[in-house]
Chains A and B, each alone.
Chain A
Amino acid sequence: MDEWIRQAEVWVGQAESWIRQQPPEQIYIAAAVIALTILVFIAASCLKSSKSNTIVLSGLSGSGKTTLFHQLRDGSSHQGTVTSMEENNDTFVLNSEKERNGKVRPVHIVDVPGHARLKPKLDEVLPKAAGLVFVVDAQDFLSSMQDAAEYLYDTLTKASVVKKKVPVLIFCNKTDKVTAHSKEFIKKQLEKEINKLRESRNAISSADISDEVKLGVPGEAFKFSQCQNKVTVAEGACLTGNVSAVEKFIREYVKA
């Protein structure tokens, strides 16, 4: 060990004497170049991380996420969809903006499967999300209300969503059907269900198990306006191409 230390000292001494021998301007220039390079790296990484262009589509199985994905990308839902087994991941320019001249920034959209067994996939994509679209089936709402509320609750209490204040759009799909509910009704029902969930998981259970963040204001009924991140509700129908609300949301948070 001592030998190594002595050798190292000798080398350092040699390097010092060598540096002293160089003319001073060269040393200054070398140092400046190094500092500039470091600065450029830091600036690039800062710029990159501030503007993520990822939008995540999530929701229960059968709510219409894959159809929405293809509507946004291609303008049609082709021949239909089946239950997704994997996520749909693509970066593209929104179909409605393809005709626009000039530079349009492509959007990275991830359609996460809604099946309960594939829930861990959502956790992988959430950290990079700039916005979240939660798709709800407005026609078949009452039977899936509890599951939808639970899924939404789980998403809203994740640390990655709250800390980064990821905006959430609750998109009520399938409003072209006659028996679809209105978005106000859906909003109220979801708030009620989440309120119940909040009570059963916070008040009664003495220990918060999986919730990373507490939702809402204790003592008051839950409202979406109490969330730290912005939650809005919109409606539309993917099959007929009525997805302007989603596109507006995307444009709002992914600047062109």
Chain B
Amino acid sequence: MLEELLIFTRGGLILWSSCRALGAAALKGSPIDALIRSCLLEERSGDASFSQDNYALKWTFHNDLGLVFVAVYQKILHLLYVDDLLAAVRREFAQIYDPKRTAYDQDFTDIFRQLHLEAEARAEEMKKSKQALSSRPLPPAASHKTDPKARGDSRPNAAKKKKKGKDDSDDGDYTAKEALPNGNGTFKAQDSVLVLPKQGKENGGPNDNGAFDVSKLQRLRKNDRKNNTGAADNGAKKLTTKPDTKKKGKQDRVWDDKPSNKKLDFTDPADERGDEVTDHVAVNQGESMMDKDDNLSSDSEEDEQEVEDGPPKKKGWFSSMFQSIAGNNVLDKSDLQPALKALKDRLMTKNVAEEIAEKLCESVAASLEGKKLGSFTRISSTVQTAMEEALLRILTPRRSIDILRDVNAAKERGRPYVIVFVGVNGVGKSTNLAKVAYWLLQHNLSVTLAACDTFRSGAVEQLRTHARRLQIPIFEKGYEKDPAVVAREAIQEASRNKSDVVLVDTAGRMQMATVELCPNAPSIVSTVETGFHDSSLTILHKLFVEQKLADLSAVPTARLIDGILLTKFDTIDDKVGAALSMVYISGAPVMFVGCGQSYTDLKKLNVKSIVKTLLK
């Protein structure tokens, strides 16, 4: 059953609510607000649906009048008629809408009831005709049509796909082998008992089976995830133990019967050596670029009002000019396609991942469809403006990233502020960690480094060198120790020494376990190289998707990324798309940008200039 259908303006006023009009029970929690905050404002309005708690939500826009139509129903029921109903409601409501009116109860309630019945009837007819046609279940591979990067609503999608492969002789359950959709293939095909999606009107049987189904799916997912992380840990452990045994067993090759007494290992904790070199004062290379104002070019918001000179459309240039002057052009999807495609290609040349560019274009299309063009504006300029606004919205941080204030807040509570740097191998974690330490030192905060990269040889020495140059204490325990334990001890040591900030370096092996065991709710910064390729996108997507699924599991300490550190920014000219991809996937703001190899090369992200560069 449809729980609620809500019609509201983009400015926030509710125009009509089916709950209120039909006297049904109100919704639990506030899924609509959650939808707006986490989906529509995050430029994911091109998604098919959104799920929260037990509810699934679908929506549609009327861009011309600035209205939003949202349908809410129970997640376990898979209603087929929602899209239909939303479109019909949109049509009818647009006819009776008047910007001055705010109460539509009398008029619209009856219309809605009628539309609801019609839609349900239509859906049932369709189902019955499909039943008559299909005689054998389709192979599951064929039904695997969802976008592999479906976010967070894989369950309703999976359930919908099952409709195709069903055998409808019986009224109740059936079994199907199906690979649950997931782009990184961590979920293999499982035996799942899946329910025939029914109309809510029929008996209440499906509800029970549905409930069972959902919990089983959740359990399967949890198990699988546990298995995977277990496998990852085992893998890590295996690799760390291997060099150990190798070292013990291996002996120096002796050639020519000459005993080689040469000492080849210079990595002793070189107290005598190191101290000579850095006897002088701690490195002071001037002001870190974090504190320097970026010189913005003069044009700021005015950019959006300008009419851009995009490339003229190929078809009917004269007619399109005429139409744009007349100003009655209602935007249609086919009109938007060429402009959007051009924008998407432009974004991709700037190294934005293809799926992200696709999703963004869908979201912009969803917000522009049906809108009336003003006079003297071309379609390309409207699309450009909308895209610019969308990019600005994505890159603007959701909450302020004032690290100094958070450090002070932690200081007041008497505990050190912990920042953990995670990321794949070779992106520049240790280097940028040192830069952040330098910046914090410039603000008169006491910093401690924690060398929890116990895997890569030379990592501890690298940090030690940095610590010596910056003259800050470093907590290390050598190699092949459990990084989580090292981290914990480092934090305890830091709080004993009244250190303000602890910077934790991790190995490039996605050691999320370290993070989870760290007390004091650290701030997790993911380090990403700006010039990355699409292949690394899958790795990072795995990281984030797994993290998002961490929400579903019962682990209370599962953490998400708090910030992003973009590295090697000076190497990419203007291919800044990685910033956009990372922010879009993770929803975390960009805290730092590394742009060089010396201590002062750390900047803040300048959102406006990035948007300009992306759309140039």
- Which residues in window 103-150 of A have CB below 8 A to B? 111, 113, 115-120, 123-124, 147, 150
Given contacts A116-B397, A118-B393, A207-B291, contact A88 B12 (CB under 8 A): yes
In the assembled complex, the Cα of A207 lies from the Cα of B394 at a distance in Å of: 27
In the assembled complex, the Cα of A88 lies from the Cα of B12 at a distance in Å of: 8
B399 touching A85, Cβ below 8 Å: no
Contacts of A79 in B (CB 8 A): 13-17, 20, 102-103
A85 touching B392, Cβ below 8 Å: no
A86 touching B13, Cβ below 8 Å: no
Would you call A58 an interface residue if the criterion is a C-beta within 8 Å of the partner chain's C-beta atoms? Answer: no
- Among B292, B394, B398, B444, contact of A116 (Cβ-Cβ < 8 Å): B398
B41 touching A87, Cβ below 8 Å: no
- Which residues in window 65-88 of B have CB below 8 A to A? 66, 68
A66 touching B13, Cβ below 8 Å: yes
B291 touching A85, Cβ below 8 Å: no
Contacts of A118 in B (CB 8 A): 41, 393
- Which residues in window 172-198 of A have CB below 8 A to B? 196-197
In the assembled complex, the Cα of A116 lies from the Cα of B291 at a distance in Å of: 23
A124 touching B41, Cβ below 8 Å: no
Would you call B396 an interface residue if the criterion is a C-beta within 8 Å of the partner chain's C-beta atoms? Answer: yes
Q: Which stretch of B125-133, B401-409, B570-578 is in the interface? A: B401-409
- Among A117, A147, A204, contact of B41 (Cβ-Cβ < 8 Å): A117
The number of residue pairs between A and B whose CB atoms lie closer than 8 Å in the complex comes to 112
B11 touching A66, Cβ below 8 Å: yes
Contacts of B16 in A (CB 8 A): 79
- Among A62, A87, A116, contact of B11 (Cβ-Cβ < 8 Å): A87
A119 touching B291, Cβ below 8 Å: no
B66 touching A86, Cβ below 8 Å: yes
Would you call A209 an interface residue if the criterion is a C-beta within 8 Å of the partner chain's C-beta atoms? Answer: yes
Shortest beta-carbon distance, B380 to chain A, in Å? 23
Contacts of A88 in B (CB 8 A): 11-13
Contacts of A70 in B (CB 8 A): 13, 102
Shortest beta-carbon distance, B441 to chain A, in Å? 12
B393 touching A82, Cβ below 8 Å: no
A124 touching B301, Cβ below 8 Å: yes
A115 touching B41, Cβ below 8 Å: yes
A207 touching B13, Cβ below 8 Å: no
B404 touching A201, Cβ below 8 Å: yes
Would you call B457 an interface residue if the criterion is a C-beta within 8 Å of the partner chain's C-beta atoms? Answer: no
B400 touching A117, Cβ below 8 Å: no
In the assembled complex, the Cα of A209 lies from the Cα of B289 at a distance in Å of: 11
A111 touching B33, Cβ below 8 Å: no
B404 touching A85, Cβ below 8 Å: no
- Among A78, A120, A200, A209, contact of B103 (Cβ-Cβ < 8 Å): A78
In the assembled complex, the Cα of A187 lies from the Cα of B196 at a distance in Å of: 58
- Among A83, A86, A207, contact of B33 (Cβ-Cβ < 8 Å): A83
Would you call B37 an interface residue if the criterion is a C-beta within 8 Å of the partner chain's C-beta atoms? Answer: yes
A206 touching B442, Cβ below 8 Å: yes
- Among A111, A196, A200, A207, contact of B292 (Cβ-Cβ < 8 Å): A207
In the assembled complex, the Cα of A197 lies from the Cα of B604 at a distance in Å of: 19
In the assembled complex, the Cα of A116 lies from the Cα of B397 at a distance in Å of: 7
Would you call B10 an interface residue if the criterion is a C-beta within 8 Å of the partner chain's C-beta atoms? Answer: yes
Selected A-B contacts with CB under 8 Å, 17 pairs: A78-B103, A80-B14, A80-B17, A82-B12, A82-B33, A82-B36, A83-B12, A83-B37, A88-B13, A117-B396, A120-B392, A147-B400, A150-B402, A200-B402, A206-B442, A207-B287, A209-B604
Write the residues of chain A forming the contact surface with B, with a CB cutoff of 8 angstroms. Answer: 61-62, 66, 70, 74, 78-88, 111, 113, 115-120, 123-124, 147, 150, 196-197, 199-201, 204-207, 209
Q: Which 10 A-B pairs have the closest CB atoms?
A: A84-B12, A88-B11, A66-B12, A207-B291, A86-B10, A83-B36, A79-B14, A81-B12, A200-B405, A85-B10
**Can you name 10 extra interface pairs (CB under 8 A) apart from A70-B13, A204-B404?**
A79-B17, A79-B102, A80-B17, A83-B33, A84-B12, A86-B10, A88-B11, A118-B393, A150-B400, A205-B443
